[in-house]
Amino acid sequence: MSEEKPVSSEDKPRKVVIICSKGTLDMAYPGLILANAARMVGIDAMVFFTFWGMDIITKKKMDKLKVATVGNPSMGIPTFIGSIPGMSALASSMMKKEMEKLELPSVPELVEILDASGAELYACQMAMDMFKLTRDDLVPEIKDVLDAMEFWEKAEGAQIVFV
């Protein structure tokens, strides 16, 4: 009679789901970089884009993401200064220059890298409906559009990170 070996966490493939819910430049990078790092160390990665995070994967918006200067306490400037016309564009330009110095890929490049690495990229059905988006509005790297129940089926057993 053979004894069944208990399944340890080391025997199961590691899996992470990153939910991207914000569409600003400064909020797009954390989720995309975390997913890329996961793939680089062999962790299965799924990225789910919802609400304003849909801007990250919308063809017309993904290359035009801006830094939020109003209501962003980390900016270190008063809200009324952040609301001056052109402040968001200035902050975005400065952030992009710093990213170039670090040789970070652009948002569109990161999405391509994730797809090529085997990460699964999904859009939220409710957000698609709410923002009146179609599959043609999204980048081709999006594997599918999921409703909330489908999301939970795909996310089963994964660590979940909400950005």
Query: Domain segments of the chain: what residues?
Result: 15-162
Task: Please state the φ and ψ torsions of residue 17, each to the nearest 5 degrees.
Answer: -120, 125
Count of C-beta atoms within a 10 Å radius of residue 87? 17
The H or E element spanning position 41 is none
Tens of pLDDT, residues 63-119: 999 887 776 667 677 666 767 777 777 777 887 888 889 899 999 999 999 999 999
Is residue 128 a contact partner of residue 145, using CB atoms and an 8 Å limit?
Answer: yes
Q: Which residue has the higher pLDDT, 123 or 76?
A: 123
How high is the pLDDT of residue 67?
A: 85
Q: Is the pLDDT reported for residue 16 higher than 90?
A: yes
143, 120, 114, 95: CA torsion to nearest 10: 90
Is residue 31 a contact partner of residue 47, using CB atoms and an 8 Å limit?
Answer: yes
Mean pLDDT confidence for 29-34: 96
Query: What class does CATH assign to 15-162?
Result: alpha beta
Q: Is the pLDDT reported for residue 28 higher than 90?
A: yes
Q: Which residue has the higher pLDDT, 61 or 1?
A: 61
How high is the pLDDT of residue 148?
A: 96
Q: Is the pLDDT reported for residue 10 higher than 70?
A: no
Q: Which residue has the tokens 């025997």?
A: 11
Token pair in block for residue 45 = 């990665």
Token pair in block for residue 105 = 């890929």
How high is the pLDDT of residue 6?
A: 53
> Residue 145's beta-bridge partner residues?
123
Half-sphere exposure of 21 (CA within 13 A, CB side): 6
How high is the pLDDT of residue 11?
A: 65
Token pair in block for residue 112 = 């391509």
Is residue 83 a contact partner of residue 50, using CB atoms and an 8 Å limit?
Answer: no
Where does the chain have alpha helices with state H?
A: 25-40, 79-82, 87-101, 107-117, 125-130, 148-155
Mean pLDDT of the chain: 89
How high is the pLDDT of residue 120?
A: 98
